[in-house]
Amino acid sequence: MSRVRVTINQAEYRRLTQSPAGPVVRQAERIGRRTVNGAKRNVRVDDGHLRSTISHTVAVLPGRVLMRAGSPLDYGLYLHEGTGIYGPKHRVIRPVQAKALRFEVKEAVGKVSAKGRRPVVFALYVRGVKGDKWLVRAFKDACPYPVRER
């Protein structure tokens, strides 16, 4: 039986996989930028504050390169995963400390008041919003490799 000996050049391996100028880190940066751009296109927002906070980071850890994308704002998760009957608890949203929920409506049937205020709506409960996985869709579109959701 014949034997084969393989010697790996550790310095070159580290340069390829862990150097900021290496192809692995550059590819992670490229996928991160594409994910952020796609997420900014996909997310449903009213004013753009969430859209402006979407970003990515690339970290080189022992044995792997990690790219993270997202937003630090809480309601980004709510738009992604859903709330109320569409969220993890599958229940309507009811007020905790008041008799009714209060919302300012962006686009309402009727006229805006003379002072330029938005119409206000009160509700005893709301069903919530459906999640639309805007970040996962962006990552799947940006990544050339197979992506598996957990």
The domain limits of the chain are 10-72+132-142
**For residue 84, what are the CA distances in angstroms to 39, 87, 93?**
23, 5, 5
Contact 34, 141 (CB under 8 A): yes
The 10s digit of each residue's pLDDT in 1-58 is 789 999 999 999 888 888 888 999 999 999 999 999 999 999 988 778 999 999 999 9
Q: What integer pLDDT is reported at residue 148 of this predicted model?
A: 87
Q: How confident is the model at residue 107 (pLDDT cuts 50, 70, 90)?
A: low
Percentage of the chain beyond pLDDT 90 is 65
